[in-house]
């Protein structure tokens, strides 16, 4: 899809796709909410929505076309499985907190999952949401951090170091765990036992690799927004098939 339409953000799609597979095929239950806060990774989500029967092949084929059906960043459309418009980073967790709080007030048993990026955690609004969620004991809220250690302009550790990330979430009254973000069984095992601790929101820090599965894309920040040319596309497909 990205190659055909000359779109950006292929690197982060490969870092989150295993997380999305675990969520959509094993974890999410009817009534649960999912927010893709790092909206630029939505191209990894669209095919999963098609496989789940939420959108059709025709809708999928309309990605990133004039007058088409799907945008480069998600545009709220409940019928298409998109709960919020996202892409302006730092907003998704705050929305998720509001949905989780409403669930508590209304005595609903749904869970709210928010997938956000590590670079996104440089936004102050994210930490306001983290502080609020811990204070209100929102144990129906699960934040999943795509911790691929890269953002648009370089390494997260060099631009705004997040470490010690697990301890930071813990200090805000969250229960945090770390997993291999490319081990689907490990992700499922962790998320089958939420909340991690009663009375606390849960944070799953998923260690991932930007561009995972394609040797020349892995850990290269250029693939945040670079689109493969003809030869790169052929080479990437060959590596992924093997």
Q: Read off the pLDDT of residues 109-134 as tens digits, 9 standing for 90 and up.
A: 999 999 999 999 999 999 999 999 99
Q: Residue for token digits 């849960």?
A: 202
In total, the chain counts a number of residues equal to 242
Could you state, in order of their start, the residue ranges of all structural domains in the chain?
2-241
* 87-121 exposure pattern, b = at least 16 Cβ within 10 A, e = fewer: bebbbbbbbbbebbbebeeeeeeebbbbbbbbbbb
> What's the confidence (pLDDT) of residue 192?
97
CATH topology of domain 2-241: Rossmann fold (3.40.50)
242: confidence class by pLDDT, cuts 50, 70, 90: confident
Determine the average pLDDT of the residues in 220-230: 96
In 40-110, which ranges are E strands?
A: none
Rounded to two decimals, the pTM is: 0.97
């Amino acid at each position: 899809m990205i190659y055909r339409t000359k779109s950006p953000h292929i690197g982060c799609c490969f870092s989150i796709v295993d997380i999305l597979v675990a969520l959509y095929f094993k974890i999410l239950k009817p009534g649960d909410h999912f927010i893709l806060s790092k909206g630029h990774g939505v191209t990894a989500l669209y095919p999963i929505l098609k496989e789940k029967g939420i959108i059709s092949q025709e809708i999928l084929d309309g990605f990133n076309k004039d007058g088409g059906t799907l945008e480069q960043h998600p545009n709220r459309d409940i019928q298409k499985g998109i709960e919020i418009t996202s892409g302006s980073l730092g907003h998704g967790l705050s929305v998720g907190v509001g949905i989780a709080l409403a669930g508590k007030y209304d005595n609903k048993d749904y869970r709210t999952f928010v997938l956000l990026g590590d670079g996104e955690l440089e936004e102050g609004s994210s930490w306001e949401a983290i502080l609020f969620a811990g204070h209100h004991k929102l144990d129906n809220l699960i934040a999943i951090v795509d911790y691929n250690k890269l953002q648009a302009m370089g390494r997260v550790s060099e631009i705004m170091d997040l470490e010690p990330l697990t301890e930071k979430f813990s200090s805000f009254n969250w229960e945090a765990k770390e997993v291999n973000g490319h081990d689907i069984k490990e992700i499922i095992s962790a998320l089958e036992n939420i909340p991690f601790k009663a009375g606390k929101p849960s944070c799953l820090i998923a260690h991932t690799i930007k561009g995972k599965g394609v040797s020349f894309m892995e850990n290269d920040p250029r693939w945040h927004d670079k689109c493969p040319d003809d030869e790169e596309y052929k080479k990437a497909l060959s590596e992924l098939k093997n």
